[in-house]
Amino acid sequence: MVFSSNIFLVITFLSIASLTLCSAQIRNTNVTLAGVITCPNTSLSSAGTFRVIPQAQVDVVCTSFFIPRVTKSAKTNFVGVYSLSFSQSDILFNNPELCYLNVTLPMNSCTFSPPGGAIRFPILAIRSPFGVVTYYFPGAPTYVRA
């Protein structure tokens, strides 16, 4: 009986040690996804410049069981900048790398009118050498008819 109680004690210590190790690996910081929504100018006098789009709706859309749902939203500010912050629980329950950004442009805000009025961007991640996500950024846009 002494032998089995010692094994139980060792298993308990190993369990406590593994919980301590796991909790030490979880960061309490947020990971940011940010960018600027712009529209290319089409006049020859301002070719190569881009106009910012204020008040554009930026949604993070994740699909679960083939049903897309918005998990986070933001609007661009007066200089076209949006910023979304993901906590560790957000990343655990909805991996942003499996989601996409859906940007809806305000009416008449751009000379370019995407099909369906929305632009999609994949969400890409920068990881540390240990595999921890340090930053998210939008990928190349795609245009999808709604």
Report how far residue 96's alpha carbon sits from residue 60's, in angstroms, rounded to the nearest whole number: 8
pLDDT at residue 21, rounded to an integer: 36
Q: What confidence category does residue 112 fall into, taking pLDDT thresholds of 50, 70 and 90? A: confident
Task: Identify the pLDDT of residue 107.
Answer: 85
pTM: 0.71
How many Å apart are CA 112 and CA 106, to the nearest integer? 12
Rounded to the nearest 10°, the torsion over CA 23, 25, 29, 30 is -110
pLDDT at 145: 63
Please list, in sequence order, all residues whose beta carbon lies within 8 angstroms of the beta carbon of residue 141, skipping any fewer than 6 positions away. 119, 120, 121
The whole-number average pLDDT for the span 38-48 is: 70
The label of the residue with tokens 């712009």 reads: 38
**Residue 10: predicted pLDDT:** 37
Q: Is the pLDDT of residue 54 over 90?
A: yes
Whether pLDDT at 25 is above 90? no
Q: By mean pLDDT, which of 16-30, 34-48, 73-87, 115-129 is the weakest?
A: 16-30
Tell me: pLDDT of 15 over 60: no
Q: What is the pLDDT of residue 109?
A: 84
pLDDT at 73: 96
Helix (H) or strand (E) segment spanning residue 58: strand 57-64
**Could you tell me the residue ranges of all domains in the chain?**
31-145
Nearest to 35 by CA among 144, 142, 136: 136
Greater confidence (47 vs 130) lies with 130
pLDDT of residue 50: 82
